[in-house]
Every structure is written in structure tokens, then in C-alpha cells.
Amino acid sequence: MMDKSKVIRAFEKIARKEGISVDEVRCEIQKAIDDAMQSDDPAVQAYWKKIKYKGEKPTPEEVVLYIAKQVKAY
């Protein structure tokens, strides 16, 4: 099962591979999330409403954990 520590390790691995910091990895993922959440497509908006998050918007970790759970369900 994927947990937050595994997500962080995945971000660290991506950062090493790309030669950037973990913060840069998170920032790029957050930008993608922010852009995707602006979609006018009702199906896309319905998908975002399924993701539970604590703050004003979902964090990269929260999104990756949600997607991992969805993939595991298949």
C-alpha cells in the first residue's frame, strides 16, 4: 500500500533523476494540479471533487495517494 513516506521517496527519486530539488518536483506537480483544477469540463471537476484534501487545494502528496488508491482498486 502506498503511504505518504513512499510518495516522498518517489519525489526524491524523481528529483535525483532530473537533477532538481524535491521542492522543485513538488512545485511542478502543484502547477499541474492547479492548471487541471481550472478545467471547465464537468467530468474533470467531478473527478477533483472526489479527492479529499485538508487545505485550500490538494497537495501533490494527496493527489498521488488518491491516484495510487484508484489504480490499486483496478
Give the model's pLDDT for residue 48: 94
Which positions ≥6 away from 32 have C-beta within 8 Å?
none
Q: Please provide the average confidence, as pLDDT, over all residues in the chain.
A: 94
Q: Is the pLDDT of residue 1 over 80?
A: no
Give the model's pLDDT for residue 74: 80
Q: Give the tens place of pLDDT for each residue, 12-35.
A: 999 999 999 999 999 999 999 999
Determine the structural domain holding residue 57 and report its residue range. Answer: 4-73
How many domains is the chain built from? 1
Could you give the dihedral angle defined by the CA atoms of residues 74, 56, 45 and 15, in that order, rounded to the nearest 10 degrees? Answer: -50
CA separation for the pair 9, 48 (Å, rounded): 24
